[in-house]
Amino acid sequence: MNSIRRWLLTAGLCFGTAVVAQDKPATQSVTFVDDKLWVQTGQEKVAVTNEVVFPGEIKINTNGVFTVQKGKERQLKPGQVLASDGMLTSPDGSVVPVQDHLAALDGRVKLVKDGEATPLTAPYTFPDGSRVQSGGEIVLPNAAIRRMLDGQITRLDGITFPVTDTAMLQDGKVVLFKDGGRVVLQPTQTMMMSEGTRISGDGKVVRPDGTTEALQPGVIFKLPGVVSPKKD
């Protein structure tokens, strides 16, 4: 019996619930396609008939409905991929956390709860006493001031999420998600991403080390995004 239980845990299935093992080296993700919930680990993709649980109290039902920490129910949309780290990738190239958070865009801060964003209208106080203003200023407990950068995403406990920028070919055009915003490149335009990679309007990608590759239709090219400033 113990050997069977170990096998089920390794496969991600544990007596009625598909559990994502936190010590697995490969990132797992789920999609909802053809009225089925699919779990993918590396190149392997299987349909599951039981609830899937990711770290952070993220629970995904077989009908594609998911909740985070018993919050409002949300539906996985066609083409969306929810990874075990809590990041949701959509077909338009956006990558956002499903956990509640604060996000800075165009010099303003939005409060995102259960996937719904509203402008921050009053200062938000983190557990350490730091206060975030609607314009992105952060007043630290020692009275020092820093600012949220465009594209920066911070959990409601004050911990900053790693940000992911993306590039993709969409209807023959290069579309970027950078610093929290969507940018469509002109054919002759080139833009440098946050970590130094250059993306051209013809789909050419030049890494900081000089190596090159090309964007492929329908494939989302992911890169590290904006890095938040360190606390004083």
Q: pLDDT tens-digit profile of 89-125?
A: 999 999 999 999 999 999 999 999 999 999 999 999 9
Give CA–CA dist 212/153, Å, rounded. 29
Residue 230 included in any domain: no
Whether residues 8 and 73 share a domain: the answer is yes
- Per residue in 177-200, pLDDT tens? 998 899 999 999 999 999 999 999
Q: What is the pLDDT of residues 45-83, one digit of tens each?
A: 999 999 999 999 999 999 999 999 999 999 999 999 999
Predicted pLDDT of residue 162:
87
Whether the predicted model's global pTM rises above the 0.85 cut: no
Domain range for 202 is 164-224
Q: Count structural domains, the chain.
A: 3
Is residue 201 within 8 A of residue 174, CB to CB? The reply is yes
Note whether 17 and 80 are same-domain residues. yes
Residue 3 pLDDT: 39
Out of 89, 116, 136, a domain closes at: 89
In this prediction, residue 21 has a pLDDT band, given cuts at 50, 70 and 90, of very low
Distance, in Å, from the CA atom of 126 to the CA atom of 90, rounded to the nearest integer, reads 29
How far, in Å, CA of 17 to CA of 196, rounded? 42
Side-chain half-sphere CA neighbours of 109 within 13 A: 24
In a domain, 231, yes or no: no
Cβ–Cβ under 8 Å, residues 82 and 58: yes
Residue 135 has a pLDDT of: 95
Domain-located, residue 229: no
12 pLDDT tier (thresholds 50, 70, 90): very low
Give residue 5's pLDDT.
Answer: 39
**pLDDT digit string, tens, across residues 22-42:** 444 456 999 999 999 999 988
Using CA of residue 55, residue 61, residue 64, residue 65, what is the dihedral sign? negative
143 assigned to some structural domain: yes
Regarding whether 174 and 149 lie in a shared domain, the answer is no
